């Protein structure tokens, strides 16, 4: 068994981005909007801000109380959409129940949607013309590629069907010519499906749910479950360690890659804006 060093790979990508940013005349800007007081969200937003500072991005954090109204949030997004110093906009999920998250996501300009959650960006991915891709699935794919995992023709199962991870992950793997199965809470005989797949992406949010895999399987564990034992994944690493060929740990696996991909998407959004300027300037 080899443990995939997600933290090490993420650090390398962040350093690559930092060097690119150091050569720019202006800074790429990322705005992060946080609504309410969810402790996990506060930690994630703090990590995103710190990454921006280390890489040399402009970072803008906007905090709103849990009782804020839909229109207030829409108004903030409208201002950020028109702010030329901001290239990426991220609204931290989940939002309070009274907020319509879909409407908020759709209000973000697709070219500033560094989360890749906008229906236009999800649609582009679905038709095999990806543009801005959701950070966690993109990070998982990057881990597979940087670990030299052959994808063409492989059987891959994605456990979880969220718009944030499961669905874009399945599309990415399909675009890489995998044969993809998506599993969810109503899937019959989940174990049987898992046992017939070469690649397993676990994104269900159930601690240590997966206790057996096919001999030689590659396992990417997206789970970040806070339990009495601390942060644990969706996969029971001890139970599968004799059988897997490659596996990501929790923590220090997929988590750091999500942030690295957010930085990559923000730089990409910046580069797209500046290429347009160059094109239309006639330079
Ligand atoms: N909440 C959990 N993961 C994410 C993410 O990748 N982006 C946003 N915006 N919210 C999240």
Per-residue pLDDT tens digits for 46-104 = 999 999 999 999 999 999 999 999 999 999 999 999 999 999 999 999 999 999 999 99
Catalytic residues: 48, 92, 115
Query: Do 36 and 90 have their domain in common?
Result: yes
Number of domains in the chain: 2
Domain with 173 in it? 135-255
Which residue is closest in CA terms to ligand 1's atom 4? 93
Asked if residue 87 is part of any domain, the answer here is yes
- Taking the complete model, does pTM exceed 0.85, yes or no? yes
What is the per-residue burial (b if ≥16 Cβ within 10 Å, else e) of 209-234? bbeebbeebbbbbbbbbeeeeeebbb
Please report the pLDDT score of residue 282 as a whole number.
42
The C-alpha atoms of residue 85 and residue 68 are separated, in whole angstroms, by: 25
Please report the pLDDT score of residue 275 as a whole number.
81
- How many whole angstroms from its chain centre is CA 78? 24
Query: Do 104 and 149 have their domain in common?
Result: no
The answer to whether 131 and 121 have CB atoms below 8 angstroms apart is: yes
Which residue is closest in CA terms to ligand 1's atom 11? 93
Query: Do 81 and 188 have their domain in common?
Result: no
Query: Do 148 and 241 have their domain in common?
Result: yes
Query: Do 242 and 156 have their domain in common?
Result: yes
Mutate which of 33, 38, 44 to test ligand 1's pocket (most atoms within 8 Å of Cβ)?
44
Query: Do 106 and 153 have their domain in common?
Result: no
Please report the pLDDT score of residue 278 as a whole number.
56
Query: Do 139 and 239 have their domain in common?
Result: yes
Asked if residue 228 is part of any domain, the answer here is yes
Task: Write the CB contacts of 27 (distance below 8 Å, at least 6 apart in sequence).
Answer: 21, 56, 57, 58, 85
93 CA from centroid of ligand 1 (Å): 5
Q: Among the atoms of ligand 1, which is closest to the Cα of residue 135?
A: 6
133 CA from centroid of ligand 1 (Å): 13
Asked if residue 41 is part of any domain, the answer here is yes
Which residue is closest in CA terms to ligand 1's atom 2? 93
Asked if residue 236 is part of any domain, the answer here is yes
Last residue of a domain, one of 54, 77, 111: 111
DSSP the chain: -EE--HHHHHHHHHHHHHHHHHT-SS--EEEEEEES--HHHHHHHHHHHHHHHHHT-EEEEEEE-TT--HHHHHHHHHHHHT-TT--EEEEPSSPPTTS-HHHHHHHS-GGG-TT--SHHHHHHHHTT--SS--HHHHHHHHHHHHTT---TT-EEEEE---TTTHHHHHHHHHHTT-EEEEE-TT-S-HHHHHHT-SEEEE-S--TT-B----TT-EEEE---EEETTEEE-SB-HHHHTTT-SEE--SSSSHHHHHHHHHHHHHHHHHHHHHHHHHHHHT-
Asked if residue 6 is part of any domain, the answer here is no
Query: Do 69 and 147 have their domain in common?
Result: no
> CATH number of the domain that 82 lies in?
3.40.50.10860
6 CA from centroid of ligand 1 (Å): 18
Closest to 118 measured CA to CA, from 140, 103, 100: 103
273 CA from centroid of ligand 1 (Å): 24
Give me the residues of the chain with pLDDT under 70, please. 276-283
Query: Do 35 and 83 have their domain in common?
Result: yes
Interstrand relation of 179-183 and 246-247 (parallel, antiparallel or unpaired) = unpaired
Asked if residue 156 is part of any domain, the answer here is yes
Q: Among the atoms of ligand 1, which is closest to the Cα of residue 91?
A: 9
> CATH number of the domain that 149 lies in?
3.40.50.720
Query: Do 105 and 141 have their domain in common?
Result: no
Asked if residue 275 is part of any domain, the answer here is no
196 CA from centroid of ligand 1 (Å): 30
Asked if residue 47 is part of any domain, the answer here is yes
Please report the pLDDT score of residue 276 as a whole number.
60
Mutate which of 42, 107, 115, 259 to test ligand 1's pocket (most atoms within 8 Å of Cβ)?
115
Ligand 1 first shell, C-beta below 6 A: 90-93, 115, 135-136, 164, 258
Q: Can you tell me which residue has the tokens 């500033």?
A: 112
Query: Do 97 and 176 have their domain in common?
Result: no
Query: Do 223 and 144 have their domain in common?
Result: yes
62 phi/psi in degrees, rounded to 5: -120, 120
């Amino acid at each position: 068994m080899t443990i995939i060093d997600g933290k090490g790979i993420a650090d390398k990508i962040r350093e690559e981005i930092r060097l690119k940013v150091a050569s720019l005349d202006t800074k790429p800007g990322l705005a992060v909007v946080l609504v309410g007081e969810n402790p996990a969200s506060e930690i994630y937003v703090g990590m995103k801000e710190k990454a921006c500072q280390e890489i040399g991005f402009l970072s803008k954090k906007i905090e709103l109380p849990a009782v804020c109204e839909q229109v207030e949030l829409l108004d903030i997004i409208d201002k950020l959409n028109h702010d030329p110093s901001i290239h990426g906009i991220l609204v931290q999920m989940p939002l309070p129940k009274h907020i319509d998250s879909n409407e908020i996501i759709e209000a973000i300009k697709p070219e500033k949607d560094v989360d890749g959650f906008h229906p236009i960006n999800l649609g582009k991915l679905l038709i095999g013309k990806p543009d801005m891709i959701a950070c966690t699935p993109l990070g998982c794919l990057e881990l597979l590629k940087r670990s030299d995992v052959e994808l063409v023709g492989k059987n891959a199962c994605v456990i979880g069907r969220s718009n944030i991870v499961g669905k874009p992950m399945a599309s990415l793997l399909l675009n890489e010519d995998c044969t993809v199965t998506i599993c969810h809470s109503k899937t019959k005989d989940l174990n049987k499906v898992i046992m017939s797949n070469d690649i397993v992406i676990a994104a269900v949010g159930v601690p240590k749910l997966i206790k057996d895999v096919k001999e030689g399987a590659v396992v990417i564990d997206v789970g970040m479950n806070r339990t009495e034992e601390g942060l644990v994944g969706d996969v029971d690493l001890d139970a599968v360690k004799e059988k897997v060929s490659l596996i990501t740990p929790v923590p220090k696996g997929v988590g750091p890659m999500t942030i690295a991909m957010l930085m990559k998407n923000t730089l990409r959004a910046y580069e797209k804006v500046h290429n347009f300027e160059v094109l239309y300037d006639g330079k």
